[in-house]
Amino acid sequence: GAVVSQHPSRVICKSGTSVKIECRSLDFQATTMFWYRQFPKQSLMLMATSNEGSKATYEQGVEKDKFLINHASLTLSTLTVTSAHPEDSSFYICSAAFDQETQYFGPGTRLLVL
């Protein structure tokens, strides 16, 4: 299957700082990238959908000023958690789709905010 990478895989930060997570599609050009969050023992929650060169579409209840998404190229999308707080600690997973038919997931980023 297609390869999607995420960096960093794990990050620990202090409350109030900002954290940037990168998502790259390594062997295809992704027309759409998705950002999910998953709390322990819970299902995936879609945060936003981003298309290259346009503004991300956020799901209801997700603060767009807190979770900044940039999809600057067909192979790179970034999620910045601004002014992170302990309640933002979660498993953040991106996925990429190149044909609008199939999503391939990155390995995820585990964020811990102290």
Q: Which residues bind another protein (CB under 8 A)?
A: 1, 32, 34, 42-44, 46, 49, 91, 93, 100-108
Closer to another protein by Cβ: residue 20 or 108: 108
Three-class DSSP category at 69: strand
Instruction: Compute the least distance from the CB of residue 67 to another protein, in Å.
Output: 18
Q: Can you read off the two tokens belonging to residue 39? A: 């709390």
Instruction: Compute the least distance from the CB of residue 24 to another protein, in Å.
Output: 14
36: number of Cβ within 10 Å: 21
Cα 99 to Cα 108: distance, rounded to the nearest angstrom: 22
Closer to another protein by Cβ: residue 44 or 68: 44
Cα 108 to Cα 23: distance, rounded to the nearest angstrom: 9
Instruction: Compute the least distance from the CB of residue 17 to another protein, in Å.
Output: 24
Closer to another protein by Cβ: residue 14 or 60: 60
Question: Of 79, 68, 89, 67, nearest to 15 (Cα)?
Answer: 89
Closer to another protein by Cβ: residue 46 or 76: 46
